[in-house]
Amino acid sequence: MSMRIILEGNKLTKTYRRGRSEVVNAIQDVSLKVYEAEMILLYGPSGSGKSTLLNLLSGLDKPTEGEIKFMGDEISKLSEKQLTDFRRKYVGFVFQSWELIDHLTAVENVEVPLYPSEINSAELRTEAIQILRRLDLYDREHHYPGELSGGEQQRVAIARALIKTPKVIFADEPTGNLDETTGNMIMRLLKTVCRRGTSIIIATHNEQLKEYADRIIRLKDGQMGG
Amino acid sequence: MGLGRVFRRSIRFTFRSKRRFLVFLLIFAIVSTIVAFNVDSIDNLRTDELLKHKGVIVRRANNATITYGQGQALYNDILDYTEKPNSSVTLDQSMMYTFSDIDPRLRIFNLDIHNPWLADFAKPSLLDEGRYPRTANEILVPAGSLQHRSISLNNESYEVSSELAVGQMLNFKSPTGDEINLKVVGTFDGSNLGMTNPSKQLWLFMDQSKYEDMLSLFGLTQTQNARVHQLSFVVDGLILVPSTYDQVGILNQQIQTMLEDKTTYGDFRNQPDSLPAPQTKRTSKNITVFLGFTIIGGVLLSTLFAYLISRFRRREIAILKAMGYSHSSVRISLIGELLTTSFSGFFFGLFVAQLLLFDWVKFDFSTLIRLPAIGIAFLIMVVIAFPGMVLTSRRVLSVSPAEAFRDN
């Protein structure tokens, strides 16, 4: 494993206000480092702050306290527009329910992140098909999500994350809606992606995924532990 | 290139989400049809029915002879009255309609082809066939007009006649060899003119300039030969505005007073009975209210559309934003969908309305909603869609990309 730090969170705290007076500490004093081509598991029960931490590290939300650095540059103080640029250039997402767009074919779903880019449409299509084939989705390019199995849909979602060649992929319960066999297949796939140089941070409460992780960060009540 | 592609794809993908597209297409189609019908009704008021709404007509009493001098006197006095500094009536348009008998078989009438609705006896909506004259040498004839030719055969004189048809050319020659060519471009229902036996005399209706040419071709003059059959006055002001109707009432009253002097003006009668002002006023009020409701309803609809679209697509928007879509990219994608749905709805609604309005038996296109009305209705739809677009943009901006990850 390379020792180059890709992402770093220092003393991250995120508080929310619930109602008028109640303050909730979703994340409290969390620090972590993510290395290049490393797979990290954020492990914890529901409500432990995994999603909040994913939001902070991926630039979807800003910490109340602490700082986040991406390849040495602080991103926690960037403007909304700069954060959007950051996510577009460096970050890929894989969601629990795949979140594919129903009325788009598999290949169009993969292309979606790069529609606003300057890449030529023909090149984009070639690239999307190549990625789908790399993930064993031969002859499924023009199928709609409703015509694909759960495992196939999750592979399309991974292809959608990969098309931007991101530095980091954030995955939220990537096997949550899959049976065990398909879930293992998806994890092996993510592991392969990771070995090719992409760091992957997975939020899960599924203990079986631990065997794929290079490192496990346990979260409980918004704090690191275990 | 990037934003253009987002826009193009959003248009293409709109048709793919079939149920959502069809529901909104139908709603927009219904609203568009109502707007188009309304605008068409108002357009009718603006043209054909304008005289009825904001005009006053003075006609000769049944077949009375009004000399040009008498008609001109009344016409000038009414204009003088409206031009007084303290007059509460301002005129927009006016016209004196005259006719002249060229010979016992031919009578010519003047028209203002640029303001056809001023002639309630020969306005475009009375056309039976053909179209309204656009140039001075184009004329109208009452439907069923016969043209006469005298033929001498074996020293006996015969009259032959045939019906004048649209497209026919009429040639008039003066004794000195000057000639005027006129083309029949339309026939109209002449019953408003009290024509009882059109076969006795040929009546031709032409623009004022050609009318004067015809008189001069046959050595006649307005002052000596022309007779007046109608004066039309249209007051200034907008239909649908009450003060316009007040002006019509005041002018009517004034003319009524003037017409008591029959020796100066001849046997005229104004037409207060033909102007059911309260009724037309009520019609215009109804249309205003209906149009108001349509616009308010349309704005509410597009607002609802914006609300529903951003609600239906909230999660999708959050994911697009998480993937790095800027506000403008997401906004353009939603605007693409809104425009596609609303314009498709507009044209679909219009198409269905035109199919329903078309007279399939007579194959008559005049019953269709006309192009200017379609254009105005389209503009109204754009205006109606605008608040929806603004609201859609605002709602899109409020969606946080953090919603992409559900809290587990």
Q: What does the pLDDT read at residue B407?
A: 44
Residues of chain A in contact with residue B1, where contact means CB-CB under 8 angstroms, are 118
**What angle, rounded to 10 degrees, do the helices at B314-322 and B277-312 form?**
50
Distances (CA, A) of B106 to A177, B60, B96, B101: 92, 20, 20, 6
Of A85, A91, A104, which has the smallest distance from its Cβ to B13's Cβ?
A: A104
Q: What does the pLDDT read at residue B272?
A: 56
Task: Calculate the CA dihedral of residues B18, B22, B23, B25 and round it to 10 degrees.
Answer: 140
B225, two tokens:
């030969």
Of A47, A104, A172, which has the smallest distance from its Cβ to B405's Cβ?
A: A172
Mean pLDDT (chain B, rounded): 82
Q: What is the 3-state secondary structure of B174-214? A: CCCCCEEEEEEEEEECHHHHCCCCCCCCEEEEEEHHHHHHH
Are A115 and B315 in contact (CB < 8 Å)? no
Residue A59 parent element (H or E) = none
Distance of residue B167 Cα from the nearest chain A Cα, in angstroms? 57
The answer, yes or no, to whether residue B408 has pLDDT greater than 50, is no
Are A96 and B408 in contact (CB < 8 Å)? yes
DSSP structure class, residue B407:
P
pLDDT in tens, B352-375: 888 887 877 767 676 778 777 788
Residues of chain B in contact with residue A89, where contact means CB-CB under 8 angstroms, are 324
CA distance A182 to A175: 8
Nearest CA in chain A to B399: A60
CA distance A169 to A210: 17
Distance of residue B309 Cα from the nearest chain A Cα, in angstroms? 14
Lowest-confidence region among B14-18, B156-160, B268-272, B305-309? B156-160
Any idea what the Cα angle at residue A144 is, between residues A139 and A150, rounded to 5°?
85
Q: What does the pLDDT read at residue B228?
A: 94
Are A203 and B326 in contact (CB < 8 Å)? no
Judged by a CB distance cut-off of 8 A, whether residue A85 touches chain B is yes
Residues of chain B in contact with residue A70, where contact means CB-CB under 8 angstroms, are none
Are B2 and A102 in contact (CB < 8 Å)? no
Nearest to B235 by CA among B221, B219, B246, B225: B246
Per 3-state DSSP, chain B is made up of helix, strand and coil in percentages (nearest 5) of: 55, 20, 25
Nearest CA in chain A to B8: A115
Of A51, A108, A121, which has the smallest distance from its Cβ to B408's Cβ?
A: A51
Classify the complex by whether its ipTM is higher than 0.90, answering yes or no: no
Are A95 and B405 in contact (CB < 8 Å)? yes
List, as ranges, residues 36-75 from A with C-beta within 8 Å of B.
46-47, 50-52, 54-55, 58, 60-61
Interface mutation vs chain B, best among A14, A70, A84, most B CBs within 10 Å: A84
Are A118 and B1 in contact (CB < 8 Å)? yes
Of B6, B18, B405, which has the smallest distance from its Cβ to A115's Cβ?
A: B6
DSSP structure class, residue B356:
H
Across B288-315, average pLDDT: 77
Pairing of strands B146-153, B156-163: antiparallel
Task: Calculate the CA dihedral of residues B333, B337, B339, B340 and round it to 10 degrees.
Answer: 130
Of A54, A95, A116, which has the smallest distance from its Cβ to B325's Cβ?
A: A116
> What sign has the CA pseudo-torsion B58, B61, B64, B70?
negative
Q: What does the pLDDT read at residue B67?
A: 93
Q: What does the pLDDT read at residue B405?
A: 60
Asked whether the beta carbons of B227 and B66 are under 8 A apart, the reply is yes
Per 3-state DSSP, chain A is made up of helix, strand and coil in percentages (nearest 5) of: 35, 30, 35
| Parts of chain A with a pLDDT under 70 | 1-2, 226
Q: What is the pTM of this model?
A: 0.66
How many C-beta neighbours within 10 Å does residue B375 have? 12
Q: What does the pLDDT read at residue B205?
A: 94
Residues of chain B in contact with residue A51, where contact means CB-CB under 8 angstroms, are 405-408
Task: Calculate the CA dihedral of residues B257, B262, B264, B267 and round it to 10 degrees.
Answer: 110
Distance of residue B319 Cα from the nearest chain A Cα, in angstroms? 8
In this prediction, residue B137 has a pLDDT band, given cuts at 50, 70 and 90, of very high
Are A84 and B325 in contact (CB < 8 Å)? yes
